[in-house]
Structure 1
Amino acid sequence: MAVPLYQAKAEFFRTLGHPVRIRVLELLEHGPCPVRELLAAIEIEPSSLSQQLSVLRRSNLVSATRDGNTVVYELSTPDVAELLRAARRILTEMITDQGELLAQLREPEVREASA
């Protein structure tokens, strides 16, 4: 029996639910990148990066090619980069809305303090 679409989507978002994986995907938005550059940018243990890259490979979000001793990763589709940009837009709106709410919440305190 096939997995329901909502369940497949939940699994997809669980795959994205790790800060290192998100950071790797963000770095790969700019094009293919060798592991050594990912390590330098993220500053984690090589074994931890390897584990997170493995998860991303299994989910087909990234692909890897070998160039001699160097493994180079890239996004499997430009849609991944678009998803990250959409997440940034959504977060920006959420933070803006929270800022407006915070300003509204502080208004009575300002009035009470000046009275």
Structure 2
Amino acid sequence: MGLDISFVACPRDQLSEVGEFRKVNALLQWVNNNVMSVENCAYIPISKEVLEILQGTLNQLTTDNCQELFPTQEGFFYGSTEYDEHYWEDVADVKVWVDETLAHFEFE
């Protein structure tokens, strides 16, 4: 078992995956804290405004504030909770995806 987060577009009731992250538990924790509680295999609407807030959070991250702004989540299935090079690689991957999505995705 693992922690997978997929972002899907739903134009006219047809699902299309537009992003996927594996074991990025800080992203799960951020959604839990800033959008709504994440349930297993449930869809959560993520608006452009929410992605802009996430982008702002990611742009502010430093080694001094990451545990407060983009914390990891404890739990057996949630992956690493360390703030090590893997955490920062995940942050970079999420940031690239958010930046590209905000720049190119048609939210309407």
TM-score where L is the length of structure 2: 0.32
- Higher RCO (C-alpha under 8 Å, 6+ residues apart): 2
Greater Cα radius of gyration, structure 1 or 2: 1
Greater fraction helix: 1
TM-score where L is the length of structure 1: 0.31
